[in-house]
Amino acid sequence: MTAFTVHHVTRYRYEQPATLCHNEAHLCMRSTPDQTVDESWVIIDPAPDDRSERIDLYGNWVTYFSLQSPHEQLQVAATSRVRRTPTTRHESEWLPWEAARDAPRGVNAWDLTIESPHVPLLSELHRLTDGIFTPGRPLAEAVAELCRRIYDEFAYDPTATSVSTPLSDVLAGRHGVCQDFAHLAIAALRHLGLSARYVSGYLETLPPPGQPKLKGADASHAWASVRTPTGTWLDFDPTNALVAPDTHLTVAWGRDYSDVMPLRGVVMSSGATTQLDVEVDVERVDPSA
């Protein structure tokens, strides 16, 4: 078991005071079969005039808040303390992939087989799965090869895309970031009739040997998960060519990025410029402390 403390800080600075804002945050981490959340909280400065919490359709913790008086900056700071155990593997991962495609599923799994805002089911997606999802092939084996194909054929490039870049552009340009690669994998799996979801969270990054870890050096991360024939889920990370990783810390999951954005909302201000800074730190701690 490994214990972590995660700090995620988002700061907005406005050219002119914002007079009103409404926001939703997916920043409180969730427990999973391999992750126990001991504490998770969000501090908002200035203090909001209205705040509430709810659990969404997928079981994620959502914080809503609004500020209704002028403010020149906004800081949203989330802190979580979690314990992570090695990923549990399930025998059903090794059943034929068609068994997962044909298995009964409820509403929350069925809507993970169809198009969503960031995951169109493009006809050219077959190029990602050709020769991989052959008849009778074990699901985990096919997913691992899909993961490796995306890793090998697409270049990680933070300057190539934004959150609004269409998936068709990513597929054509062969450049992107973790969000893009997760969407690609999900689209490819849904194109085959499989249930696949988008997972947001964190991945610990380690400094070069002998150098101190920089504050804010970690970042939000995204990966994908596919439903097995028995209803369990198999996580995989095409950005790093990992299947069932032990190092990933989950915040939320949904159809795609639009369901689990760390922070989104509406701001009313007469200024044209907003400065945004985000810092994420993932620190290992003594689990007995």
pLDDT above 70 as % of the chain: 97
Summarize pLDDT for 230-252 with one digit per residue, the tens.
999 999 999 999 999 998 999 99
Map residue 169 onto helix, strand or coil.
helix
Cβ contact 225:100 at 8 Å: no
Residue 232, sorted as left (phi over 0), alpha (psi -120 to 50) or beta, turns out to be beta
The band of 204, judged by pLDDT with boundaries at 50, 70 and 90, is: confident
> What Å distances lie between residue 207 and 17, 25, 157, 212, 216, CA to CA?
38, 29, 20, 7, 12
For position 218, what pLDDT does the model report? 78
Please tell me the predicted confidence (pLDDT) of residue 95: 98
pLDDT at 197: 98
If we measure between CA atoms, which residue out of 125, 10, 116 comes closest to residue 73?
10
Residue-range domain boundaries for the chain: 2-85+261-285, 91-259
E-state strands within the chain: 2-25, 35-45, 50-55, 61-67, 71-84, 155-156, 175-176, 196-203, 220-227, 233-237, 242-243, 248-254, 263-269, 274-285
- The count of other CB atoms within 10 Å of the CB of residue 226 is 28
Cβ atoms of residues 112 and 215 within 8 Å: no
- Say how far apart CA 261 and CA 93 lie, in whole Å: 29
CB 54 within 8 A of CB 62: yes
Sole residue written with tokens 């068709």: 168
The pLDDT of residue 216 is 61
* CATH code, residues 91-259: 3.10.620.30
Under 8 Å between Cβ of 253 and 197? yes
Q: What pLDDT, on the 0 to 100 scale, is given for residue 235?
A: 98
The DSSP bridge pattern shows strands 233-237 and 242-243 to be: antiparallel
Q: Which residues contact 206 (CB under 8 A, 6 or more apart)?
A: 213
Q: Which CATH number fits domain 2-85+261-285: 3.40.50.2300, 3.30.360.10, 2.60.40.2250, 3.20.20.70?
A: 2.60.40.2250
